[in-house]
Chains A and B, each alone.
Chain A
Amino acid sequence: MEHIVIIGNGVSGVTTARHIRKLSDKKITIISAETDYFFSRTALMYVYMGHMKFEHTQPYESWFWKKNKIDLKKGFVNIIDAKSKTLLFNSGETMGYDKLVIATGSKPNKFGWPGQDLNGVMGMYHKQDLESLEKYAPNNKVCKRAVIVGGGLIGIELAEMLHSRHIPVTFLVRESSFWNGVLPEGESAMINREILENGIDLRLGVNLKEIKADEKGQAKSIVIAETGEEIACDVVGLTAGVSPNIDFIKESNMRNDANFSIQTGRGVKVNRFLETSVPDVYAIGDCAEQHEGIGSRRPIEAVWYTGRMMGETLAQTICGNRIEYKPRHWFNSAKFIDIEYQTYGWVWAQPKENEARFYWEHESGKKCIHLNYDKDTRAFIGINTFGIRMRHEFFDKVLTEKQTVEYVLEHLADANFDPEFYKLHEKEIVAQFNKENNTNIQLKKKSWKRIFA
């Protein structure tokens, strides 16, 4: 029986395994050094905040793996010997494979800051980071202040986490406004406000210079590069992005002969079939890097959904139905403290030449939508929605059918996904659009028929 070995029990690896099992009875082994069972990385924050216990982040009960004949192996792979199709563990054990899936995810970026490896300095990616946070920041007596370096999605989650335990937080963000490499100005400003309203000390446009240690080798303060200001703290969170967790592959390549060297860039290079440069070795999820970004996507897509979709696709290929990884329209979501965010299609931070924008913000300053469309063809390109939930299926269809922005506005009621009885803002939104654009779009009533068509 063919033996499929998957390194990494994150969402990509596990999705692959599940779908291979659906399609075949191949022998499947999943290897991880992190935890015994698959858990949802995206939910780590809720464990620290006390919304859930760690076990709640595990989507499958522990009998699931045995029942589905998916072997789990705890261990760290040091070397892939692609020639003999053998894995070498740091324990000295070995394991053979017929096909290998590399799904080793990411690791937090560290940019060589002085003091970045001190005690009390941590990323927020692995379960071990959570344990370390629990150790150094159990409450505001032990941790009198924490400094977070890097203003992305994980950074703001970490800020919210610490805030939930009433630990004062200073949040260093390199950009001049939160996440404005991705978010347009209005949305970014809204999140700045949200951070400040929660009493988080947001510092925009600053970089970390160094982390200073106390006599026990634990972080005691940080210094800001631009101002030289020193801020006393007990914990430093490094959340300046992530990069593929593939050091061990680079290591392996040095030992393998050239024919069996797995080509890497920032990540493991893969083609559209998720195949690496070595036969029978595949890479998916955060650690995979497309030779060229698909459509407007980046070559490395470190998000949950893409890892899952690559897993679904790769399972087909491994089970004899070789198909390309073809993600549909981009979508994503996040939550910035109390403000939910969803996006469908593309809304770049800066409009491109052919693009026109429409921005509506609710008077509360906590809800907004931002539409992106083609100036000339009026084709809808994407939407950011903050504080209002919208239907994925609706926008997926709109994008596939290349509908216009007018169509989207007319059917905004179909798109709404907020819970029942919520106040709807569609009229207001359409009215503002009409005013700004001298149009006369009439909002249609919600229609189940259209929604389910």
Chain B
Amino acid sequence: MKFKQMKILKHIGLAIFIIGLSIFTGSLFTGNFSLSQSQLDEYITSKGYKSEIIATELKKAVVTEESLNIFQFSSRVRDAFQNSNNHYDALIAKYDTEKNWDKKGEQYQYKIYGKPHTLSYDLAKKAGSGFVKENAGLLWWLTFGLGIIGALLFILPNLILLGAPGIKNNGVFLEASTNRGWIAWLVLVYLVLFYLLLYFMPDYVVNWTFILDPISEFLNGGAASQWFVYGFLYCVIMIVMAVRMYIKYRHNKYQVIRTTSVLFFQIVFAFLIPEIMTSLNMPGYDFKNAFPLDYDFFFEWNLDSLRNSGAIGLFILVWGIVLTLVIVPLMVYFFGKRWYCSWVCGCGGLAETLGDPYRQLSDKRLNAWKLERWVIHSVLVFSLVMTLVTLYCYFSGAEAFLGIKSQWIKDTYSFLIGAWFAGVIGTGFYPIFGNRVWCRFGCPLAAYLGLVQRFKSRFRITTNGGQCISCGNCSTYCEQGIDVRAYAQKGENIVRASCVGCGICSAVCPRGVLKLENGPEKGRINPTDILLGNDVDLMDLVNKK
């Protein structure tokens, strides 16, 4: 009876969640976007555009009585910038053929640089009006509010539905959402589209920023950007999905504490502190985000901004370097890379909350491991080369180093690794490839931590003698695709660079075979010629051979 009611509650929750998500998605298609002449003039002066024709182009485009939605608006704005730039490009070409170098040189100042969708975003932020913007509070409740309430109604009945505390992975491989079925593909498409818009077409999601403007203004005094939306959403999702973790693993204190820890670091360190710093006119900095995951730490703009921020800037600069060079490896020595990857890190935090339902989808094949080692170490090298080039150019004033252009390598890295790998693929592909694709194959910091963990650390997963029955639960639920069983069934401790110490292998093992622990380095990798339980004298074996 209770069971039935809980199921109904769950379904109601799902319906509410879907309504919230639909309104959230639908809100993108609402609103009017236009500017008055005076607004436009003000904008152009504030930006200091020298182009003589951008004013007329933009006026044609957006000073209008027509009601434009964001997509029409964006397209017109991008055309306007394009037309302006085309105009000067034509002049440049003309003077070039005329060999009129002076004139040619003059034209460059009129060109407007920047990503078209970003330029359009800036204008859209000013140009938007309509129900969403005018009713941000209401919309917050209809989107975030319904989403949270719905999700919680969906999750909380698990307290009853899952039965007594314990590992309840019942049906994981029988359901379309967690076994690569149609629901999983649908979620993948949604997530990928979300990231594509966020990274490459922020103007399209400007309506979302309107919903969060009041909260942003409250926190940092400014309007919400698409990154504020992302950060806020990230925290909300992690909190809700952490509730799911708390229920699912309520018998397992390691999981409960670890989940609390990632939640704390995300909300306080990644979200609140940077927002508050911004409101205090300091550079917003996430104190736990270590280079090279924080790949733009040594970019010119960041170094400049830190140098111009007085004592706090200097402190951040020193902290960032000490974090990467001293704190990170020292902590890995004592606790394994888990202290970062599954206790502190934001990417890890999302993977361990939103991503938990997908952990079983990681690829366990030996070939995947081979690929992993190639790819992740390549990314590490890539990030280091990029930083080297950037720093050299920063201090020497050169444009390139070792034949590599600083701007080019930074752009390439940001695009390929920062946006595509970490975002679109890293999170977007959760429902099909598992929750740690980025952490396993892409993260340069994980590669670095992994090297330390593999060669100089007290952390290991101890295998409990001969107790393994090769059932495969540990391997199946290892989000990092480690074939844990391959070690456990030989009685061998697991010492692997990629292990993030999530502790789930130990949790799901039905025979109590695995224990994550920090102990003396000696004996960390144990000999396993003969399993514990079998009284075969090894010296005997060797002598007789």
State whether these chains interact.
Answer: yes
**Which of A89-97, A276-284, A419-427 participates in binding chain B?**
A419-427
* B366 at the A interface (CB under 8 A): yes
Contacts known (A46-B473, A309-B534); A59 close to B486, Cβ less than 8 A: yes
- Inter-subunit contact B489/A59 (CB<8 Å): yes
Q: Which of B476, B486, B531, B545 contacts A312 (CB 8 A)?
A: B531
B467→A331 contact, CB < 8 A? yes
Q: Is the CB of A50 within 8 A of B530?
A: no
Distance in angstroms from B511 CB to nearest chain A CB is: 5
Contact with B along A417-453 (1 / 0, CB 8 A): 1111111000000000000000000000000110110
Query: From residue 28 to 51 of chain A, which have CB atoms closer than 8 A to chain B?
Result: 40, 42-43, 46, 49-51
- Indicate whether B469 reaches chain A with its CB closer than 8 angstroms: yes
Q: Which of A325-342 contact B (CB under 8 A)?
A: 326-329, 331, 333-335, 337-338, 340, 342
Report if A298 contacts B (CB, 8 A). Answer: no
Kindly list chain B residues whose C-beta atoms are within 8 Å of the C-beta of A448.
519-520
Interface-located stretch among A144-152, A180-188, A243-251, A385-393 = A385-393
The 8 A CB mask of B433-476 against A (1 = contact, 0 = none) is 00000000000000000000000000000101111011111011
Which residues of the partner chain B approach A452 to less than 8 Å between Cβ atoms? 519-520, 522-523
The answer, yes or no, to whether A52 is at the interface (CB within 8 Å) is: yes
Query: Of A51, A59, A335, which is within 8 A of B169 by CB?
Result: A51
Whether a CB of chain A sits under 8 angstroms from the CB of B527 is no
How near does chain A come to B33, taking the closest CB pair, in angstroms? 49
Q: How far is the CB of B341 from chain A (nearest CB, A)?
A: 16
Contact (Cβ within 8 A) B469 A304: yes
Q: Closest CB of chain A to B119's CB: distance in Å?
A: 49
Taken together as a complex, chains A and B put the C-alpha atoms of A251 and B383 apart, in Å, by 69
| Closest CB in chain B relative to A324 CB, distance in Å | 9
**A57 part of interface (Cβ distance < 8 Å):** yes
Partner of B533, one of A198, A327, A334: A327
When the two chains form their complex, are residues A197 and B164 in contact, meaning their CB atoms are under 8 A apart? yes
Asked if A396 lies at the interface with its beta carbon under 8 angstroms from chain B, I say yes
Do A164 and B472 have beta carbons less than 8 Å apart?
no
Given contacts A313-B534, A328-B535, A331-B533, contact A389 B515 (CB under 8 A): yes
Nearest residue in B to A332 (C-beta to C-beta)? B467
Residues of A within 8 A of B (CB-CB), count = 57
CA–CA, A338 and B167, complex, Å: 8
Q: Is B130 among interface residues, defined by CB-CB distance under 8 A?
A: no
Chain B residues with CB under 8 Å of A53's CB are: 173
B469 to A: closest C-beta gap in Å: 4
Q: CA–CA, A338 to B506, complex, Å?
A: 15
B532 at the interface (CB under 8 A from A): yes
Q: A50, A309, A327, A419: which contacts B252 (Cβ < 8 A)?
A: A419
B244 contacts A by Cβ under 8 Å: no
Does chain A have a CB within 8 A of B254? yes
With contacts A40-B469, A59-B485 taken as known, whether A335 is within 8 angstroms of B510 at the C-beta atoms is: yes
Q: A308: which B residues are within 8 A, CB to CB?
A: 466, 531
Question: Per a CB cutoff under 8 Å, which of A42, A326, A338 touches B536?
Answer: A326
List B490-529 residues whose CB lies under 8 Å from chain A.
Answer: 503, 506-508, 510-512, 515-517, 519-520, 522-523
- Whether a CB of chain A sits under 8 angstroms from the CB of B170 is yes
A323 at the interface (CB under 8 A from B): yes
Other-chain residue from B164, B169, B466, B485 in contact with A331 (beta carbon distance below 8 A): B466
Closest to A163 in B: B163
**A348 interfacial by beta-carbon distance below 8 Å:** no
A358, CB-defined interface residue at 8 Å: no
Chain B hits for A354, CB < 8 A: none
Query: Beyond A56-B475, A309-B531, A451-B519, is A323–B173 a contact (Cβ under 8 Å)?
Result: no
Q: Which residue on chain B has the smallest CB distance to residue A59?
A: B470
Are the CB atoms of A391 and B469 closer together than 8 Å?
no
| Complex-state Cα separation, A50 to B173, whole angstroms | 5
Any B CB within 8 A of the CB of A296: no
Question: Which listed residue (B508, B533, B545) contacts A309, Cβ 8 A?
Answer: B533
Contacts of B519 in A (CB 8 A): 448, 451-452
B181 in contact (CB, < 8 A): no
Asked whether A316 is an interface residue with its Cβ less than 8 Å from the other chain, the reply is yes
In the complex, the answer to whether B254 meets A420 with C-beta atoms within 8 Å is yes
Nearest-Cβ distance from residue B514 to partner chain A, whole angstroms: 9
B470 close to A164 (CB less than 8 A): no
Chain B interface main SS type:
loop
Asked if B365 and A51 make an inter-chain contact with CB atoms under 8 angstroms apart, the answer reads no
Other-chain contact of B253, A43, A46, A421 (Cβ < 8 Å): A421
Say yes or no: A56 contacts B476, CB within 8 Å. yes
A11 CB within 8 Å of chain B: yes
Distance A389 CA – B471 CA, assembled complex (angstroms): 18
Instruction: Give the residue of A51, A327, A391, A419 whose beta carbon is less than 8 angstroms from that of B534.
Output: A327
State whether the Cβ of B371 lies closer than 8 Å to any Cβ in chain A: no
Contacting B at CB under 8 A, from A298-356, are 304-305, 308-309, 312-313, 316, 321, 323, 326-329, 331, 333-335, 337-338, 340, 342
**B171 cross-chain contacts in A, Cβ below 8 A:** 49-50, 164
The verdict on A401 contacting chain B, using a C-beta distance below 8 Å, is no
Asked whether, in the complex, the Cβ of A57 is within 8 Å of the Cβ of B471, the reply is yes
CB contact under 8 A between A417 and B515, given known A305-B466, A422-B253 = yes
Q: A61-B366, A389-B515, A448-B520 are in contact. Are A312 and B473 (CB under 8 A)?
A: no
- Give the distance in Å from the alpha carbon of A423 to the alpha carbon of B471 in the complex: 27
Interface pair B512/A342, CB less than 8 Å apart: yes
Could you tell me the distance in whole angstroms from the C-beta of A384 to the nearest C-beta in chain B? 13
B511, A335: Cβ atoms closer than 8 Å = yes
Least CB distance from A103 to B in Å reads: 15
- Does B506 lie within 8 Å of A419, measured CB to CB? yes
CB atoms of A392 and B532 under 8 A apart: yes
Instruction: State in angstroms the CA–CA spacing of A24 and B307 once bound together.
Output: 67
B174: Cβ under 8 A from any A Cβ: yes
Could you tell me the distance between the alpha carbons of A321 and B465 in the complex, rounded to whole angstroms?
Answer: 25
What 1/0 mask marks residues of chain A from 374 to 418 whose CB sits below 8 Å from any chain B CB?
000000000000000111110010000000000000000000011
Whether, in the assembled complex, B172 has its beta carbon less than 8 Å from a beta carbon of chain A, the answer is yes
Residues on B with beta carbons closer than 8 Å to the beta carbon of A43: 469-473
Contact B534 A328, beta carbon cutoff 8 Å: yes
Q: Could you say which residues of chain A place their CB within 8 Å of the CB of B472?
A: 40, 43, 46, 52, 56-59
Bound-state CA distance A335–B168 (Å) is 13
Give a binary string over B475-487; 1 marks a CB under 8 Å from any A CB, 0 the rest: 1100000000110
From known contacts A197-B164, A312-B531, A391-B464, infer whether A419 and B253 are also in contact, taking CB-CB under 8 Å.
Answer: yes
Q: Is the CB of B545 within 8 A of A321?
A: yes
A175-B24 Cα distance, complex, nearest whole Å: 60
Q: Select from chain A the residue with minimum beta-carbon distance to B166.
A: A338
Q: Do the beta carbons of A417 and B464 come within 8 Å of each other? A: yes
Judging by beta carbons under 8 Å apart, are A312 and B536 in contact? yes
In the assembly, what is the distance between CA of A165 and CA of B476, in Å?
Answer: 21
Whether A51 contacts B476 by the Cβ 8 Å rule is yes
Can you name the residue of chain A whose Cβ is closest to the Cβ of B464? A392
Residue B26 CB within 8 A of the other chain = no
B536 pairs with A50, CB closer than 8 A: no
Distance of A136 Cα from B360 Cα, bound (Å): 28
Show the binding face of B for A, using Cβ within 8 Å: 163-167, 169-175, 251-254, 257, 365-366, 462, 464-467, 469-473, 475-476, 485-486, 489, 503, 506-508, 510-512, 515-517, 519-520, 522-523, 530-536, 540-541, 544-545
A-B contact pairs, 12 of them (CB 8 A): A42-B469, A50-B172, A51-B508, A52-B476, A56-B472, A305-B469, A313-B536, A328-B533, A331-B467, A392-B467, A448-B520, A452-B520
7 A-B pairs with the lowest CB-CB distances in the bound complex, closest first: A392-B465, A338-B166, A389-B512, A43-B471, A50-B174, A309-B534, A326-B535
Chain A contact residues, CB within 8 Å of chain B: 11, 40, 42-43, 46, 49-53, 56-59, 61, 164-165, 197-198, 304-305, 308-309, 312-313, 316, 321, 323, 326-329, 331, 333-335, 337-338, 340, 342, 389-393, 396, 417-423, 448-449, 451-452
- Apart from A51-B476, A422-B253, 19 more pairs, CB < 8 Å: A40-B472, A46-B472, A49-B170, A50-B169, A51-B173, A51-B473, A164-B170, A309-B534, A321-B541, A333-B512, A340-B511, A390-B512, A392-B465, A396-B533, A417-B512, A419-B254, A451-B519, A452-B522, A452-B523
